């Protein structure tokens, strides 16, 4: 039990300084999504199901200027291609059944991946998942704030 408490303390120290960035970028995404006509529910659902900031910004930016859905999807896929080798590097740390592994793998983002690497080159699953959860909550929370502010402001421009 003591080890778990110490690990959670390590997680907070490691992840919380990074939490402001996804909160602010999530709010920016929410505003941009409103400006692009996605609407608050669409922006929040996209953030909750995609959790890939650069891809989300690309999609709404392309759609906002009249680009097609195929171009938006292609841009998102290309931007997220970096997660293939990242996922291979941490794949062995995920345990349990397929649904659990798939769910936890959604929390692999640049920051959680980098934070979970140990000096011996191995990755810490609890740190990756814990940091990923903090970052996910901030990203989705930021999107909600930005989307609601965007709707309250009317025209974000």
What's the pLDDT tens digit per position in 123-155?
999 889 988 999 999 999 999 999 999 777 666
pTM of the predicted model as reported, rounded to 2 decimal places: 0.86
Note every long-range contact of 111-114, with CB atoms under 8 Å and residues 24 or more positions apart, other chains counting: 111/15, 111/18, 111/135, 112/15, 113/86, 113/89
> If you search the block for the tokens 């996804």, which residue do you land on?
22
pLDDT at 9: 67
Cα angle for residues 70, 58, 86 (degrees, 5° grid): 95
What are the E-state strand segments in 33-138?
none
pLDDT digits (tens, 9 = 90+) for 20-60: 999 999 999 999 999 898 999 999 999 999 999 999 999 99
């Amino acid at each position: 039990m003591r080890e778990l408490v110490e690990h959670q303390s390590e997680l907070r120290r490691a992840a919380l300084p990074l939490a402001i960035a996804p909160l602010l970028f999530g709010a920016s995404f929410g505003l941009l999504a409103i400006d692009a006509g996605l609407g608050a529910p669409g922006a929040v659902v996209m953030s909750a199901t995609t959790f890939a900031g650069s891809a989300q910004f690309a999609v709404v930016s392309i759609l906002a200027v009249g680009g097609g859905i195929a171009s938006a999807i292609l841009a998102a896929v290309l931007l997220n291609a970096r997660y293939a080798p990242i996922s291979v590097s941490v794949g062995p740390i995920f345990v349990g059944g397929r649904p659990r592994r798939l769910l936890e793998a959604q929390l692999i983002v640049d920051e959680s991946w980098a934070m979970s690497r140990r000096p011996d080159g191995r990755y810490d699953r609890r740190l990756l998942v814990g940091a990923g959860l903090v970052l996910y909550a901030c990203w989705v929370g930021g999107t909600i704030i930005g989307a609601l502010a965007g709707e309250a402001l009317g025209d974000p421009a």
